[in-house]
Every structure is written in C-alpha cells, then in structure tokens.
C-alpha cells in the first residue's frame, strides 16, 4: 500500500532519482530556469522549494544539509547568498511551471521550470513608486 507516499518515481532507482534532481535543481539555481518534462519539473520544484526554505534559515548547519542534498558547492553558495535572501518575505511558491506542449520525438509533455522573480514584499514596495510616478 502507498499510504502517504508522495514521491514521483520517474522510472528510476532511488539513487539515480536523487542525483538527477540534485543536478536539475543546481542548474535551476545557476540559470534561473530549466526546460524539462512536466513530471520531472514537478519533482524538481518540490525539491527546490524545500531547499530554498532551508536556505532562508541561513546557518552553517543548514548549509551542510543543503550541500548533502545538492552536492554542488557553487549551487549552495548561490542558494544562500542570492536566492534565499530574494525570497525572505515569501512563505512559499518559489517556483513556477509553464507548460510548452509535446516534445516532437516522443510526445512527452514539456515545460519550463523557473524561479519566481520577486518576493511579494518587493513587488508591493515597487507598486507605490509606480503610482507616485503616475500621479506626478
């Protein structure tokens, strides 16, 4: 029985799946967006969201946890120095999936997985500036 088991198996062994997700999320943190299949994107988005939440805590213990999951020093540095502070005022929903359609070769559903650009606090801070500019 699969009671409360919520993992996407993606047709891979556990070690292969963890390595693939770590590589995908490292690329996501480096580039801000990746193109992949919908199932892989949903699994990677969940993994990335958990890592960003860990990154927002910012202590050395959390860096070590993130490194044990990502296995990439540059990605961990980017996560803690750039990405986590950008989402400090946001409670979740750090990623977005845009569906692109079917891939030509095997008709797999493809999509773009990307990081959401601005935190709500930053967006709210920018809106009054725009309204003041319109009033002048």
- How far is it, in rounded angstroms, from Cα 87 to Cα 117? 9
pTM for the model stands at: 0.82
Q: Is residue 113 part of a domain?
A: yes
Q: Is residue 19 part of a domain?
A: yes
- Write out pLDDT tens, residues 52-63: 999 999 999 999
- Write out pLDDT tens, residues 112-133: 999 998 545 555 555 555 555 5
The overall longest dimension of the chain from CA atoms, in Å, is 64
CATH number at residue 129: 3.90.1030.10
Domain membership of residue 76 as a residue range? 14-135
Q: Is residue 103 part of a domain?
A: yes
Q: Is residue 29 part of a domain?
A: yes
Q: Is residue 94 part of a domain?
A: yes
Mean pLDDT is lowest, of 9-13, 86-90, 129-133, for: 129-133
Query: What are the CA-CA distances from residue 73 to residues 58, 63, 76 (Å)?
Result: 15, 10, 5
Ramachandran region, residue 58 (left: φ > 0; alpha: ψ -120 to 50; beta: rest) = left
The number of distinct structural domains making up the chain is 1
Tokens representing 111 are: 């999509």
CB 86 within 8 A of CB 29: no
- How far is it, in rounded angstroms, from Cα 106 to Cα 82? 37
């Amino acid at each position: 029985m699969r009671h409360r088991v919520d993992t996407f198996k993606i047709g891979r062994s556990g070690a292969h799946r963890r390595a693939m997700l770590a590589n995908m999320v490292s690329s996501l943190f480096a580039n801000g967006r990746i193109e992949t299949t919908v199932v892989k994107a949903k699994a990677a988005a969940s993994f990335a969201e958990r890592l960003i939440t860990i990154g927002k805590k910012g202590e050395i213990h959390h860096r070590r946890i993130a490194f044990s999951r990502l296995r990439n020093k540059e990605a961990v540095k980017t996560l803690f120095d750039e990405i986590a502070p950008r989402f400090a005022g946001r409670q979740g929903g750090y990623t977005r999936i845009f569906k692109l359609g079917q891939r030509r070769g095997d008709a797999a559903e493809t999509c773009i997985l990307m990081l959401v650009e601005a935190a709500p606090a930053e967006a709210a801070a920018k809106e009054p500036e725009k309204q003041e500019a319109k009033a002048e």
